[in-house]
């Protein structure tokens, strides 16, 4: 487990430091403002849902915070350190070590078994194959997939495949998990179960989780909701 020990003291000695912050984030595609100045703080271990209509900028925000997409202006800080100005090699390393990702439809490697898929970030991090597979198996067990580790993605249901993706996102114990419409390809009930599996596993690991969804019902199970509209945080909507 990641231990949640001391928060770094702020300038006044007592303030906690957010895990991840965006300051004045602007992202344009040509004339189109995908993000028109977004400020957001995500605390260590906090779960936040980003909701908003299609095209409002949710995915752009996620990608900017995760260092996948460069910003046109603004800053992204991880534990108080700027990450938006790192070069691509450093950002890629950061994504591999500090972040975990769950996408709408698994993005699992079809040729690999469930446990091999879940073990990938550990193998990329240099762990031995036997240890990585053993760890991955534990994650799969915790997500209710015990005994299914040797199946390939094609032999799993949609909900099971998403839980493999969750195991993969958590296995290297990242500080922040990003999930973009993780339940978008699932029926309502499986979507709810998957959301709970994600929230539970992230909480157990002390990882913050940022979940993009356009489904307000699903967002209700997340403690804090941030609404985005036309590339801006909608402050008219209650934020928690
Ligand atoms: N690669 C891209 N090229 C051009 N426009 C884009 C691109 N990605 C997103 N956009 C535009 O930016 C806006 C925000 O998109 P996005 O962040 O994907 O929103 P959401 O995830 O909320 O649906 C939309 O108007 C979308 O059309
Ligand atoms: Mg999107």
The string of pLDDT tens digits covering residues 46-74 is: 999 999 999 999 999 999 999 999 999 99
Pocket test for ligand 1, best of 30, 49, 60 (most atoms within 8 A of CB): 60
What's the whole-number average pLDDT of the chain?
90
Which alpha helices (DSSP H) does 154-187 contain, by range? 158-170
Pocket test for ligand 1, best of 33, 35, 54, 57 (most atoms within 8 A of CB): 57
Task: Give 227's strand partners.
Answer: 51
* Atom of ligand 1 minimally distant from the CA of 54: 23
Ligand 1 lining (C-beta closer than 6 Å)? 29, 32, 34, 52, 54-60
The torsion defined by the Cα of 203, 122, 169 and 111, in degrees rounded to 10, comes to: -140
If DSSP codes are grouped into helix, strand and coil, which group holds residue 148? Answer: coil
* Cβ count within 10 A of residue 111: 10
- C-alpha to C-alpha distance for 52 and 236, rounded to whole angstroms: 13
Pocket test for ligand 1, best of 30, 31, 32 (most atoms within 8 A of CB): 32
The closest ligand to the CA of 35 turns out to be 1
Q: Which of 149, 96, 103, 156 is nearest to 126 (CA)?
A: 96
Query: Which residue, by CA, sits nearest to atom 1 of ligand 1?
Result: 29
Residue 105 reports pLDDT greater than 90: no
What is the pLDDT at residue 3?
43
- C-alpha to C-alpha distance for 48 and 50, rounded to whole angstroms: 6
Q: Pairing state of beta strands 176-180 and 208-213?
A: parallel
Query: Which residue, by CA, sits nearest to atom 26 of ligand 1?
Result: 55
- Tell how far the Cα of 110 is from the centroid of ligand 2, in angstroms: 24
Tokens standing for residue 118 = 């879940």
CB 178 within 8 A of CB 102: yes
Tokens standing for residue 148 = 């299914």
* Cβ count within 10 A of residue 110: 9
In this predicted model, what pLDDT tens digit does every residue of 132-189 receive, in sequence order? 999 999 999 999 999 999 999 999 999 999 999 999 999 999 999 999 999 988 899 8
- Tell how far the Cα of 59 is from the centroid of ligand 1, in angstroms: 7
Residue 30 reports pLDDT greater than 80: yes
* Atom of ligand 1 minimally distant from the CA of 30: 4
* Atom of ligand 1 minimally distant from the CA of 60: 17
Residue 11 reports pLDDT greater than 80: no
Q: Give me the phi and psi of 180, to 5 degrees please.
A: -105, 110
CB 42 within 8 A of CB 225: no
- Tell how far the Cα of 16 is from the centroid of ligand 1, in angstroms: 33
Burial of 235 (0-12, 13-18, 19+ CB in 10 A): exposed
Q: Which of 216, 211, 187, 213 is nearest to 198 (CA)?
A: 211
Q: Which of 168, 162, 185, 174 is nearest to 66 (CA)?
A: 174
Beginning with the edge strand found earlier in the chain, give each strand of the sheet holding 20-29 in spatial order: 32-42, 20-29, 73-78, 81-82
Give the N- to C-terminal CA distance of the chain in Å, as an integer. 27
pLDDT above 70: percentage of residues in the chain: 90
């Amino acid at each position: 487990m990641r231990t949640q020990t001391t928060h770094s003291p702020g300038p006044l000695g007592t303030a906690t430091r957010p895990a991840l912050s965006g300051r004045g984030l602007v992202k344009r595609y040509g004339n189109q403002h995908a993000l028109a100045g977004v400020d957001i703080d995500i605390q260590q271990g906090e779960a936040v849902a980003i909701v908003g209509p299609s095209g409002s900028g949710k995915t752009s925000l996620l990608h900017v915070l995760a260092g996948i997409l460069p910003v046109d202006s603004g800053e992204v800080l991880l534990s108080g350190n700027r990450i938006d100005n790192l070069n691509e090699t450093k950002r890629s390393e950061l994504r591999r070590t500090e972040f975990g990702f769950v996408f709408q439809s698994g993005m699992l490697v079809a040729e690999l078994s469930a446990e091999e898929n879940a073990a990938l970030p550990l193998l990329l991090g240099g762990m031995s194959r036997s240890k990585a597979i053993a760890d991955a198996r534990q994650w799969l067990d915790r997500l209710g997939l015990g005994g299914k580790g040797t199946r390939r993605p094609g032999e799993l249901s949609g909900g099971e495949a998403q839980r493999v993706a969750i195991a993969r996102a958590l296995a290297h114990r990242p500080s922040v998990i990003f999930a973009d419409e993780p339940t978008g390809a699932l029926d309502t009930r499986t979507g709810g179960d998957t959301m709970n599996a994600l929230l539970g596993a992230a909480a157990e690991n002390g990882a913050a989780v940022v979940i993009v969804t356009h489904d307000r019902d699903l967002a209700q199970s997340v403690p804090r909701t941030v609404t985005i509209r036309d590339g801006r945080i909608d402050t008219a909507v209650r934020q928690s």
